[in-house]
Structure 1
Amino acid sequence: MASPRVFWPLVIGLLLSSITLAGAAVVTYDFNISWVTANPDGMADRPTIGINGQWPIPTIRADVGDELVVKVFNGLGNQSTSLHFHGLFMNGTTHMDGPSQTTQCPIPPGSSFIYRFKVQQPGTYWYHSHTHGQYPDGLRGPLIINDPETPFKDLYDEELVLTVSDWYHDEMPGLLSFFISKANPTGAEPVPKSALLNETQNLSVPLESGKTYLFRMANIGAFAGQYIWFEGHNMTIVEVDGVYTHPAEATMIYLAAAQRCSFLITARNETSNFPIVASMDTDLFDVLPEDLNYNVTGWLVYDLKEPLPDPAEIYEFDPFDDMTLVPWDNQTLLGEPDQTISLDVIMDNLGDGANYAFFNNITFVAPKVPTLYTALTSGETATNPTVYGEYTHPFVLDKGQIVEIIVNNIDPGKHPFHLHGHNFQAVWRSEDEAGTFQDSNVTADSFPAIPMRRDTIVLRPDGNIVLRFKADNPGIWLFHCHIEWHVQSGLMATFVEAPLALQAELEVPPDHYAACAAGGVPTEGNAAGATKDLLDLSGQNVPPNRLPEGFTARGIVALVFSCISGILGVAIVAWYGFADFGNEGKEPAAAQSEGVKGGDQRPASSGADSVAAAGGEGDVISTEGERRG
């Protein structure tokens, strides 16, 4: 018989354990992913990827500590798929992270797959396909992890979820086929047709005077960053990307693709209604099509009987600077890095004439064997980055390392970079056109003592960023730009974190291997599928060849003909100008003034246009809590 000294601690431990287990739940969702028809901007019906015959797709909800089970059946018929739960660390379950050919095989049509993992982070997240640029076709939705112990629980009365997104009228396979082709040598990204709030337009959000609301907002779009503001109301930011922050006041925020922000808004003692405006960052677009609906307007509705006013026009954007946020836990700057990874963002053409995105000199190409399965089947060689293939751009991290990522933007565009499996300390971000970090005079002395922390950050045009995180989560984690066009054109790297620990701890479920078998994807060996000589990468998937140095014979011929054509063109214009066509005495037609492109040079409201385009009364957001499955 156990002594009282041993017995009572044992009993107390069992009781506490039972209390903990009683507080957790298994939250299950059954998803049949299939095609539906949608027309959220009122401009065109189009095939859209829905779940259980519905679009927009369901919001996933769970509490901290719950086990989340998502059972997926791929009913698309013509495409493989996968789900990534954006921002969740997947501690101990890297095989549930979702990127095809990285942590799993794509789920073929007609196949099933189960995602099962414990949620340990509170906050605002989202889930989306991570296969073949698929999620802009509709497979994207909010994921909310409720925290009964949130430090802000006494500051608000109700919670609302808002998404902002961009919308294309054409399906992604066709858009991608043109985007990465010699017909588009400059790499100009397809411009979306419309902006959406909660995957619709003319959204009404009912408020009650005197109440305070927690708004959870996520940009689930493919490309456009968005400026967001609520006329007549300030926002008090309390969370970004799942990280609680000390409250910070803002009148306007900027959410890049994949970023999230939670904020408090206190309703006024009013009967008037106020516009909500989301305006796409048109500086990202190479062209501004005439039919581009770059703004979307919704309304904070205090009284349904009152009119819904048009937004006021603004000509300059001044969003809150997220780098000034301070995490609620006051985590101090991580120490000197054990490993520094320096990445230069470059856009360039390859031998097929198409434009690609590169980190340094490498454009990402998926391996034949998913990287996780290579790590699990390579024995001691798993610590050698060579086995993962040159074009997955792999970096092997030791467990517990402090890792520093320096990203230099050798490109005039903005890039929102996302890290899987971790959030990071954003210890430095330069202004536009600052050049490389290495060429700057910035030292670690300039880094903040308590850096802002999140999982997605915007790199400015021709600027640089410095990020730090601790490698405390063994797994296979991507680091990539979250503009979906740049993901598909190769702007990704792979972090292989503590692969030997993965071999000792991880067990992949049979249904994951079954999806591989159904799709004919190998699950052993290096990136090329070799199982004997793991350092032999013969036959690995590769990008198109590099362009030759200098001019080729074909290039010289093309240049000569281009010059001749140019000279002939100038001659024809000159002849036309001096020719007499019998128009003496007639006045020339008045020239039309050109519109000015740029976020600070055009009105940022088009409420009336949005109403006309939608052709309906819009949707009403519910303030009632949803029941978990």
Structure 2
Amino acid sequence: MFVGTRKDAYGVRSVVRLVFVLLAVLSAFARAETTHVFNFTTGWVNVNPDGVGEKKMIGFNGHWPIPDIHVNKGDRIEIYLTNGFDDLPTSLHFHGLFMNTELGNSNQMDGPEMVTQCPIQPGDTFLYNFTVPDQVGTYWYHSHSGAQYTDGMRGAFVIHDPDMPFDYDEEMTILVSDLYDKPYYEVADFFLSQYNPTGAEPIPRNILFNHTTNNTIHFDTDKTYLIRLINGGTFVSQYLFIEDHDMTIVEVDGVYVDPTKAKLLYIAAGQRMSILVKSKHTKSKNFAFMQIMDDEMLDVIPADLELNRTNTISYSSKNGEAKQAYIDSFKHFTNDFHLVTRAKTELLDTYDYQIKLNVEMENLGDGVQYAFFNNITYVAPKVPTLLTALSAGKLATNPAIYGDNINAFVLEYGEVVEIVVNNHDAGKHPFHLHGHVFQVVQKSGGREDGEDPIDYDEKNPVSAYPEYPVLRDTVVVESLGHVVLRFQATNPGIWFFHCHVDWHLEQGLAAVFIEAPLLLQERETLTESVLNTCKSGNIPTKGNAVGNEKDWFNLEGLPRQPAPLPAGFTFKGYVAFFFSTAVGLWGIYTIAQYGLGEVVPDDQELAAQLKALLNNK
């Protein structure tokens, strides 16, 4: 098992801290604040987003899709979220927002349940109350309770910049996503069951473009458009391109980059990218805005699955809908590793603390396939990790009190942290860090299933370290590849690091960074919302991971991952057992059907039904 390793401290952290405090004070004086108040109640809404059939989606106040939120830099946001479900908890996360305690915000506003807050129980209301003092750009907000946002509890969150560093005439926001037939909890139940021993991710029935298919957006001639792109999906990455139009990338994940021309974009779940597009001089033709599933992520491609979706850029309604456009290869999308921050943020050329995380996918003794960092699959504690940190006094710096089931790492204030993710899985993983952007300092290519993984070798990196590395909060690690990330720990809080393929998070692919907890204790007081939701859910607000305040190292009753497979019982054995059992049961069924004089399906139909079972169709 890998553990974190720490170099000698630089001895300048008190100076760094003072600088940040002074900047916070100056920022508070400089900004003109407007308060935006929203009252949202969750609930199910019957809609037909793709024209295939009615589907229950999660709306606010009886409407779906939920609203996009647009604010200006420096504004305050108050969201009163009432849980209108009968029997489900909920929460909200503001993806990409720092909730920086240096600048007066609270870590309690970050949103992931059992990490920074208790889940909001049916009938309860939680107040998310924060400012956006130092961030601009494209973000989004979504539920962080299980895979709940799969059913549409997701929307854009845009912070407008009064000092935009480039010119454009109009802007628009496009959220691409995926859509499933059944409610998220049914899909997750089947996915995490012995009936899916290979861990095959559920296949969506469709991909959406601003909550529908075959959408149309309107262009005027001789204008420059800023298009904010968000992948708010649960699973598949998407390729995007516009027929016969150049795209210029100017922002990724809320960070401006040097303008970079692109013909093809690749956006994984959780990522955002803003582009400038210049329109044509005439209205003689309408053009395709293509979105295409990354089908390499799919274990099976059902015959009725539409991998490509054609949306229309309309210059004139007289021209009709655009026809599907084509590209020569998917290999030439713009690699985010080569983007350069507009602010020329220099490489953090060394680190104080290195965290190595190996990604594995394995079956445990219950027959379910789980996801692991360093042989540990995340299992939520009985007390939200933030509440343990705030109530632990000096023990808050000891990772043992948070349990051995969450991949807890304690970070010191001001240190440079390096995260090394070695992917030993044949799938791609977009990893997201709450509370920070990170520098992407190394990023390998991928390999085919069955080949050896490309683990990071610090003495022999796969490429030169960039002088001005791209800054992101969500990055893709390729199949059997690796990424190396660096950031400075100047935002005290409890920050989740996890795969944004939400099915993989449900499998446990997550870690928790406990950043400067003693300083956090000085700044945080539990809000009434946190206390009330914990009380409603019968969840302790103090103590270690199991709520023990008397013996902080006694973790009796801690929720843990299932026991491993019995010795000698391999994953292949489970697969063989599953199919042998399925065939045997089918044999019994066919005999019974024959005895009743009914027609028995042929082998081809049997194969189709088994495939449908595995795909949760």
Q: Answer yes or no: same fold by TM over 0.5.
A: yes
Query: Separation in 2 of the partners of 1:438 and 1:61?
Result: 40
1:206 alignment partner in structure 2: 218
Aligned mates of 1:307, 1:499 — CA distance in 2 = 59
Q: Take 1:61 and 1:139, find their aligned partners in 2: how far apart are those partners?
A: 17
Give the corresponding residue for 1:34: 43
Out of 514, 534, 541, the residue aligned to residue 523 of structure 1 is: 541
Equivalence for 1:491? 509
- Aligned twin of 2:393: 379
CA contact (8 A) 2:442 2:461 kept: no
1:442, 1:161 → 2: CA distance? 41
User: SS of the counterpart of 2:378?
Assistant: coil
Q: Which residue of 2 aligns with 1:306?
A: 319
* Residue aligned with 1:514, SS: helix
Structure 1: distance between partners of 2:328 and 2:26: 58
Question: Of 188, 195, 200, which residue of structure 2 is paired with 1:176?
Answer: 188
- 1: distance between equivalents of 2:308 and 2:458? 37
Q: Could you tell me which of 38, 63, 79 is aligned with 1:54?
A: 63
Which one of 344, 365, 370 corresponds to residue 379 of structure 2?
A: 365
Matches within 5 A, 1:346-495: 346-433=360-447, 435-439=453-457, 442-443=460-461, 446-495=464-513
Q: Distance in 2 between matches of 1:467 and 1:209?
A: 42
* Deviation of the 1:442 alpha carbon: 2.5
Measured in 1, the distance between the counterparts of 2:120 and 2:67 equals 20
Change (3 A) 1:503 1:183: same
Question: Separation in 1 of the partners of 2:463 and 2:457?
Answer: 16
Following TM superposition, by how much is the alpha carbon of 1:20 offset from its aligned partner in structure 2, in angstroms? 5.2
Aligned-partner residue type, residue 37 of structure 1: N
Aligned residues of 2:399 and 2:408 also touching (Cα < 8 A): yes
Corresponding residue of 1:613: none
- Equivalent-residue separation in structure 2 for 1:198 and 1:141 (angstroms): 10
Is 1:228 the counterpart of 2:240? The answer is yes
C-alpha distance in 2 between matches for 1:162 and 1:438: 35
Work out whether residues 423 and 455 of structure 2, in 8 Å CA contact, stay in contact via their aligned partners in 1.
no
Q: CA RMSD in A?
A: 2.2
The 1:551–1:279 alpha-carbon spacing in structure 2 relative to 1, beyond 3 Å, is closer
8 Å contact from structure 2 (residues 177, 207) kept in 1: yes
Q: CA deviation at 1:19?
A: 11
Distance 1:231 1:128, change over 3 A: same
Q: Helix, strand or coil: the match of 2:187? A: helix
**Is the CA contact 2:373–2:511 (under 8 Å) kept in the aligned structure 1?**
yes
Tell me the CA shift for residue 22 of structure 1: 7.5
**1:253 aligned residue:** 265
Q: 1:134 to 1:342 in 2, by over 3 A?
A: same
Which whole-Å CA distance do the structure 2 matches of 1:416 and 1:17 have between them?
Answer: 35
Question: For the residues of structure 1 that align with 2:28 and 2:420, how far apart are their CA atoms?
Answer: 45
Partner of 1:579: none
**1:501 maps to amino acid:** L
Q: Secondary structure at the match of 2:177?
A: strand
CA shift in 2, pair 1:440/1:290, >3 Å: farther
Partner of 1:503: helix, strand, or coil?
helix
Asked whether the equivalents of residues 406 and 437 of structure 1 are also in contact (C-alpha less than 8 Å), the reply is no
- SS for the counterpart of 2:130 is strand
In the alignment, what sits opposite 2:611?
A: none
The one of 320, 324, 347 equivalent to 1:333 is: 347
Q: Is the 8 A contact 1:437 1:465 kept in 2?
A: no
Name the aligned partner's letter for residue 211 of structure 2.
E
Post-superposition Cα deviations, 1:243-281, rounded to whole Å, max 9, x if no partner, equal 000100001100000100001001111211101010011
Query: Are 1:285 and 2:298 an aligned pair?
Result: yes
Q: Which moved more, 1:94-103 or 1:300-309?
A: 300-309
Between the aligned partners of 2:456 and 2:53, the Cα distance in structure 1 is 48
Equivalent position SS for 2:318: coil
1:275 to 288, 296, 313: 288
Q: How far does residue 444 in structure 1 lie from its aligned partner after superposition?
A: 9.5
C-alpha spacing 1:395/1:17, structure 2 compared with 1 (3 Å): closer
Structure 2 match to 1:263: 275
Contact 2:31-2:74 within 8 A present in 1 as well: no
Query: Are the equivalent residues in 1 in contact too, given 2:313–2:322 (CA < 8 A)?
Result: no
Question: How far apart, CA to CA, are the structure 2 residues paired with 1:173 and 1:489?
Answer: 13
Indicate if the aligned counterparts of 2:94 and 2:110 stay in contact, CA closer than 8 A. Answer: yes
Is 1:138 the equivalent of 2:152?
Answer: yes
Given residue 278 of structure 1, which amino acid in structure 2 is its aligned partner? Q
Cα distance in 1 for partners of 2:458, 2:530 equals 47
Q: For the Cα contact (< 8 Å) 1:194–1:295, is it kept in 2? A: no
What are structure 1's unaligned runs of at least 5 residues?
A: 1-15, 570-629
Match of 1:605 in 2: none
Which amino acid letter does the alignment assign opposite residue 490 of structure 1?
G
Q: 1:496: how far off?
A: 0.3
TM-score by length of 1: 0.84
Equivalent residue for 2:329? Answer: 316
Q: CA deviation at 1:437?
A: 3.1
**Which aligned pairs between 1:563-574 and structure 2 lie closer than 5 A?**
none
Any idea what SS the aligned residue of 1:390 has? coil
Distance 1:372 1:435 in 2: 35
Aligned mates of 1:157, 1:180 — CA distance in 2: 48
Corresponding residue SS for 1:392: coil
User: In structure 2, what residue type is equivalent to 1:103?
Assistant: T
Looking at structure 2, the residues matched to 381 and 158 of structure 1 have their Cα atoms a distance apart, in angstroms, of 53
Q: For 1:278, what is the secondary structure of its paired residue? A: strand
SS in 2 for 1:109: coil
Q: Report if the CA contact (8 A) 1:399-1:474 is conserved.
A: yes
Gaps of 5+ in 2: 1-24, 588-617
2:59 is aligned with what amino acid?
G
Counterpart check, 1:81 vs 2:90: yes
TM-aligned CA deviation for residue 78 of structure 1: 2.0
1:548 Cα deviation (Å)?
2.7
Shift of residue 445, structure 1, vs aligned partner: 8.1
Distance 1:19 1:359 in 2: 39
* Contact 1:335-1:402 within 8 A present in 2 as well: no
236 and 438 in structure 1: CA distance in 2 versus 1, 3 angstrom threshold: closer
Q: Distance in 2 between matches of 1:139 and 1:32?
A: 11
